């Protein structure tokens, strides 16, 4: 058994980056962004499982759900802007 010193040093550098303040902020920001959208789609829009079975149909279903989410977000933003003026 032998250790690859270059790989070990790269692994240590990755751990140092992840454990640092900057890495913690990036992880926190990523968790907020990713889970927010999926959480709204799953719990607020009651969309919990895919209905289609073929990969192409599943992709189409996800696209349609995403488009609906973005349209709703756009619509509510427009309403808020109208109320502000």
Q: What is the pLDDT of residue 42?
A: 78
Q: Which string of b and e fits 1-34 if b means at least 16 CB within 10 Å?
A: eeeeeeeeeeeeeeeeeeeeeeeeeeeeeeeeee
CB neighbour class for 62 (10 Å; exposed up to 12, middle 13-18, buried from 19): middle
Query: Taking the complete model, does pTM exceed 0.75, yes or no?
Result: no
18, 29 contact by CB (below 8 A): no
For residues 66 and 45, which has the higher predicted lDDT (pLDDT)?
A: 66
The overall average pLDDT reported for the chain is 84
Please determine, for residue 68, whether its predicted confidence score (pLDDT) is greater than 80: yes
pLDDT in tens, 15-43: 888 888 888 888 777 766 656 777 778 77
């Amino acid at each position: 058994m032998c250790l690859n010193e270059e790989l070990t040093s790269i692994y240590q550098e990755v751990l140092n980056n992840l454990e640092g303040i900057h890495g913690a902020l990036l992880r926190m920001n990523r968790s907020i962004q990713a889970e927010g959208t999926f959480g709204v789609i799953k719990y607020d829009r009651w969309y919990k499982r895919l209905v289609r079975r073929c990969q192409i149909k599943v992709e189409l279903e996800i696209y349609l759900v995403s488009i609906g989410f973005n349209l709703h977000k756009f619509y509510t933003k427009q309403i808020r802007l109208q109320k502000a003026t």
